[in-house]
Amino acid sequence: MLLWITDTPELFTETENLVIRSPDQLSATSPQGPTFVVIDIRLPQQALINWAVQRKQTTLWWLPAVDIPDPHCGVMAADCSAAEFIPLLSHIYHREGVITLAPGELESALCNNRYARVFLAPTESGDLIDSQEWSLGYAIHRGLDGSLDDFQLVTDLVRSRFKINTLYCLCEPGNGVNLVLTFSN
């Protein structure tokens, strides 16, 4: 299960694999209970920070304005909203649809890297979009209506416009724009 902690859980829809809670609803939840947690609160209260510090399992902070505890990972910048990305992340984590991701691979990426960034995938050739070198990246192709050539084109554009040492491609059947999820220390 993926647990999404946000100040506004009432604005979002839970699914069988995505549970959404406010920080006030965590008192009965053990920090080690959920296998994957996304904290979508820029300035969390001390109680949430104390709860999160106890976590040793996969934890991702969405655009935090505070220092994040080890071994957690933080998305430091994003070209999409948490409301768009976190349900997609839940699909990827649970390997729903046509996803080429080994069990434990996403968790390992998050636990072994301190920082992440989400970019829109490029649609045309050009200069580097970001000059930072990323140790790991995922080109996330959304939708299954494109051809193999379309898939290859997006992958080639990501390779040419980012400095990503190891790039994997994921395919998610949902609708939306293609994204690039990058990691570094």
- Give CA–CA dist 88/110, Å, rounded: 16
Q: Is the pLDDT of residue 99 over 70?
A: no
**pLDDT given for residue 96 in this prediction:** 75
Cα 172–Cα 178–Cα 182 angle in degrees, nearest 5: 95
Residue 44: Cβ-neighbour burial (10 angstroms; 0-12, 13-18, 19+): buried
Q: Return the higher-pLDDT residue of 173 and 115.
A: 115
User: Mind listing the pLDDT tens digit for each residue in 115-160?
Assistant: 999 999 999 999 998 889 999 999 999 877 778 888 899 999 999 9
What one-character-per-residue DSSP string does 149-173 give? HHHHHHHHHHHHHEEEEEEEEEEE-
Contact (CB, 8 A) for 136 and 63: no
Other C-beta atoms closer than 10 Å to the C-beta of 155 total: 17
Whether 98 has a pLDDT exceeding 70, the answer reads no
In the predicted model, what is the mean pLDDT of residues 175-182?
92
Q: Which of 176, 86, 104 minimizes the C-alpha distance to 140?
A: 176
Quick: pLDDT tens for 27-84: 889 999 999 999 999 999 999 999 999 999 999 999 999 999 988 999 999 999 999 9
pLDDT of residue 176: 86
The pLDDT of residue 146: 76
d(CA 183, CA 40): 18
**Alpha carbons 185 and 133: distance in angstroms, whole number:** 10
